[in-house]
Amino acid sequence: MGAVTVSETLGASLPASSILTSVDVIGSEEVATQNVTNSWELLGMMPGIQLTETRMGAESGKPTFRAFNGEGYINGIKVMIDGIPSNVNSGNQRFIDMIFPLDIDYIEVVRGTNDPRYGLHNIGGNINIGTRQGGNYTDARLTYGSFATREVQMAIGRESGGFAQNYILARQDIHGERANSASRKYTLGGKWFLTSDSGDFRIGLITRLHHHEAEEPGFLTATELAADRDQSAEKNANDSDDRDMRHASLHMDWQINDLLAWNNRFYFNSYEDDRRITFTSYPIGNAPRQQRIWDERQYGWLSNMTWQANDYLMLDGGINLERQINTYERYRFNYALPTDFNAPAARTQNDERYTLDNIGVYLQAIIRPTERLKIIPAFRLDKFHGHTELNLTGQRAPLQDYNWIKQPKLSLVYSLTPAINVYANWGRTFQILTGSTSPAYITPGQAGYRPSINTGKEIGIRFEPTPGTQARIAAWQQDATDEVSNMPSTGTTVGLGETRRRGLDLQVATRLSPTWRVWFSHAIQEAKVKSAFLADGTSLAGKEVFSTPRHISNLGVEYKPAAKWTIGLQGRRQGAYYIDELNAQGKYGGFTLLDASVKYDFSDSISVDLQLKNLANREYVYAWYDNFFWGDASQPMFSPGAGRAAYLSLNLKM
């Protein structure tokens, strides 16, 4: 979908689309002019992507797929930005917020378990966001819209004599539809790359700074939601989030000869967050009123080498090292309406300093015994170490020993005709526990968890039924052993035992004529527990994994009635889901949304566009079950989605 810049400059490794099967890419042409509050929402344009829209200030939500939900308990999707690992320790995807649409060149989604390049968090697949590098441009986008939205983005690229420099400056201010939901954030980034005269060596530096200050409107009870969807309950009047993220990476690519390429990435990520949140007005106890402070540092190196042995064999292998040095503090406050976060904390719940070290290696072969057949065997190994210091007790504890985690993989692609490819893949990925305390780290008397091993299989067909039409049908299944529902921020850990995820992906895109383009996708999915028990002995066997919709659909139409006009319509539907482990609280969260857009090009350098979100003004919610701390207060809680909204943007290319 959309245009993707293709050049002969050196890359990080083999492109995923050349060696893997279930891969989707959306290009800058589709992304750059989208109005979104957070860039992870852009993934909603792609097939089979579940959006978990919590809309709590900086803690706004995330995209997932292959029946992994976005609640934060099982973070099964790896995120890369320019090939750099970009998940926080828990696996959440907060670094995506550093990227604004005008700086994106493409977004690539790889589904399934057969990608050996990544280990930690790469359970159901991965997302790679490639930003603009090289080129000569000065682009700006100015937006004003509903909820007092004001946004400015400016992207600059200059390239000459082998030296390329790119810059992005962006700021967004939103008053918010709900009370107490104002948000202000900005990003500043720079990229500098130098390529040798021969073109066989490139070195570059990427840096980014991101700051976000946001109020949090809080979750509503069913009664509050029915009374006023746009309200923020009195208890949440002081809730807020203050977040800083930084990134720096050094990139070195060397085409040693015509057959051998070597790529290296050295990186640093930091994440600092001060969140103050009130979950309920229940007056007993201090658990519902919390301040959570994160300070995470990631240092890493990725090295990849590709060797084209001959026309029939290519070898691709790599190593990654990552060291995390993290702290987590959590404070609880006594009852007040609203919560008084300036008062002394009632008690300190967490005060930990912890490390997580990962070494991973992989090797894959791309074998072409015939022109029609491609066989890709692969193998990956991962090892983890770490220690935690529990400052409240003075305890030190090591990360539990998972030993080397072995992940064999195999993919096959056969071309029946130039327009029809059938494929099959099989592979294993893994889940380990994250966070700062037990059971991730073994304290005295604490039993360990084995790594959860996910075994996935998939069969599918990609074909072009007519010129200009591409389609894919895929059936997949993913079985996990010893899966754990784990929330590091609250220390909530529930063993789910064996689980099974399975589904069917259907998608088609076609250009009916020079003026009409249509695309459609439908994902049917299911995630169920096969064998597990709660602490009281209640069986979870046969229950659906909570917050996992059974279907996700996308429909898009683009019409160009004249050279200067573009009219678009896009619909997105997501099924309802259970909100609790026992599936006893009913289903919530389903929606059908329709967006529309009109774009007019005054010239090659000036255009305006009008975008209407939730055109039908449908009411929808994100829902979760509040049953952790408050006994009789346990009940579904809701974050209402935005109503109809309009955004007018001016686009300049200078």
For the segment 26-31, the average pLDDT, to the nearest whole number, is: 92
Q: Which residues contact 127 (CB under 8 A, 6 or more apart)?
A: 43, 63, 77, 78, 79, 80, 93, 107, 108, 109, 110
- Give the model's pLDDT for residue 538: 86
Structure token pair of residue 168: 């992005």
Q: Rounded mean pLDDT of the chain?
A: 93
Structure token pair of residue 17: 């689309």
Going by pLDDT thresholds of 50, 70 and 90, the confidence category of residue 71 is: confident
Indicate if the pLDDT at residue 496 is higher than 80.
yes
Going by pLDDT thresholds of 50, 70 and 90, the confidence category of residue 589 is: very high
The CB density around residue 160, as the number of other CB atoms within 10 Å, is 8
The CB density around residue 106, as the number of other CB atoms within 10 Å, is 21
Q: Which residues contact 537 (CB under 8 A, 6 or more apart)?
A: none
- Give the model's pLDDT for residue 190: 98
pTM: 0.95
485 and 494 in contact (C-beta within 8 Å)? Answer: yes
407 and 413 in contact (C-beta within 8 Å)? Answer: no
Going by pLDDT thresholds of 50, 70 and 90, the confidence category of residue 446 is: confident
Lowest-pLDDT range of 1-15, 174-188, 245-259, 619-633: 1-15
pLDDT tens per residue, range 598-622 = 999 999 999 999 999 999 999 999 9
For the segment 300-329, the average pLDDT, to the nearest whole number, is: 97
Going by pLDDT thresholds of 50, 70 and 90, the confidence category of residue 74 is: confident
- Give the model's pLDDT for residue 486: 84
Residues 254 and 92: their CA atoms lie apart, in Å, by 33
Percentage of the chain with pLDDT > 70? 96
Could you give the maximum distance between any two Cα atoms of the chain, in Å? 72
Residues 487 and 73: their CA atoms lie apart, in Å, by 5
Residues 451 and 123: their CA atoms lie apart, in Å, by 12
- Give the model's pLDDT for residue 630: 55
Kindly report the CATH number that applies to the domain delimited by 136-653: 2.40.170.20
Query: What does the DSSP 8-state code read for residue 70?
Result: S
For the segment 492-517, the average pLDDT, to the nearest whole number, is: 92
**What are the structural domain ranges in the chain?**
136-653
For residue 75, give the amino acid letter.
N
Residues 507 and 423: their CA atoms lie apart, in Å, by 16
pLDDT tens per residue, range 126-157 = 999 999 999 999 999 999 999 999 999 999 99
Indicate if the pLDDT at residue 3 is higher than 60.
no
For the segment 100-121, the average pLDDT, to the nearest whole number, is: 96
Output the 3-class SS for 288-338: CEEEEEEEEEEEEEEEEEEEECCCCEEEEEEEEEEEEEEEEEEEECCCCCC
Going by pLDDT thresholds of 50, 70 and 90, the confidence category of residue 488 is: confident
Phi, psi of 268 (to 5 degrees): -140, 130
pLDDT tens per residue, range 220-271 = 999 999 999 999 999 999 999 999 999 999 999 999 999 999 999 999 999 9
Residues 564 and 606: their CA atoms lie apart, in Å, by 11
For the segment 292-314, the average pLDDT, to the nearest whole number, is: 97
- Give the model's pLDDT for residue 281: 82
Indicate if the pLDDT at residue 4 is higher than 60.
no
Lowest-pLDDT range of 196-210, 259-273, 422-436, 618-632: 618-632
Indicate if the pLDDT at residue 6 is higher than 50.
no
Going by pLDDT thresholds of 50, 70 and 90, the confidence category of residue 632 is: low
- Give the model's pLDDT for residue 35: 94
Bridge-based pairing of strands 77-81 and 125-131 is parallel
Residues 502 and 483: their CA atoms lie apart, in Å, by 15
For the segment 118-123, the average pLDDT, to the nearest whole number, is: 97
Indicate if the pLDDT at residue 2 is higher than 50.
no
Helices (H) and strands (E) in the chain, counts: 3, 35
Residues 457 and 365: their CA atoms lie apart, in Å, by 19
- C-alpha to C-alpha distances, 292 to 21, 240, 281, 312, nearest whole angstrom: 40, 11, 18, 54
| CA 149 to the chain's CA centroid | 24
Q: Which residues contact 83 (CB under 8 A, 6 or more apart)?
A: 12, 13, 128, 130, 265, 302
Residue 85, SS3 per DSSP = strand
- Give the model's pLDDT for residue 126: 96
For the segment 347-353, the average pLDDT, to the nearest whole number, is: 97
Residues 277 and 332: their CA atoms lie apart, in Å, by 10
For the segment 495-511, the average pLDDT, to the nearest whole number, is: 94
